[in-house]
Amino acid sequence: MPTLLGIHGSVTQPGRLHQALELALDSVEQQGTSITTSLLHLGDHQISFADGRPLSAFTDDTEAVVRQVLAADMYVIATPIFRASFTASLKNLLDLIPVEGLMGKVCGLVGMGATDHHYLAVATQLRPVLAWFGAHLVPGEVYLQSRHFQDGKLADPDAIAGLNALVNGIIATHQATVQNPGMLGPKPFAAG
């Protein structure tokens, strides 16, 4: 059974972005698909700094978290935007993952910022890192702001529709790549 892992790329207390990611994953379950979903909140785990050690050398949650990421078939990755970029905790997680860990897997991206000023951060900062892995990225991202929420819950119909479209795009792209593995091009340079 294929798995869709939501990655909440923040170590702060789960809030609005976490709730939006849960909503996106719940929409998959409501569709009655055979896809299993799970949510990884980086703040729930003790993850060491990527320093080149093998995973087995870490004595905290690092190896288990990386193995959870490696086991998933597709991803929806959500990150707050801090200082015009995605979080350091998400970058550290990506630094711990071997290139083959995301190669050929489908990712959709969600960013959240305080203003419109940072809406391109996901496309210009996170997308290239995932492309380095050879991940297949669903075109477009969802960008959320405080105004999309009411009482801590995502309430904007366009934002909700965008999340649903993103998740549906992830699933459709995954299904297409399973049926035709070579359809999206060669391995990334990093894997060469």
Confidence of residue 108 (pLDDT cuts 50, 70, 90): very high
User: Tens of pLDDT along 120-134?
Assistant: 899 999 999 999 999
Residue 36 main-chain phi, psi, to 5 deg = -90, 135
User: Tens of pLDDT along 33-64?
Assistant: 899 999 999 999 999 999 999 999 999 999 99
Average pLDDT over residues 178-191: 78
Quote the pLDDT of residue 187: 77
Alpha carbon 19 to its chain centroid, in Å, reads 14
Q: CATH number of the domain at 3-191, please?
A: 3.40.50.360
CA–CA dist 125, 142 (Å, integer) = 14
Q: Is 8 helix (H, G, I), strand (E, B) or coil?
A: strand
Percent of the chain predicted with pLDDT > 90: 79
Encoding tokens for residue 155?
A: 């309430």
Mean pLDDT of the chain: 93
DSSP string, 77-92: EEEE-BTTB--HHHHH
pTM of the model: 0.94
* Integer CA distances (angstroms), 45 to 11, 20, 33, 35, 104, in order: 9, 20, 29, 25, 26
Residue spans per domain, the chain: 3-191
Quote the pLDDT of residue 36: 95
User: Tens of pLDDT along 75-96?
Assistant: 999 999 988 899 999 999 999 9
Quote the pLDDT of residue 22: 96
CA–CA dist 114, 135 (Å, integer) = 28
Quote the pLDDT of residue 183: 73
Quote the pLDDT of residue 116: 85
Average pLDDT over residues 134-144: 94
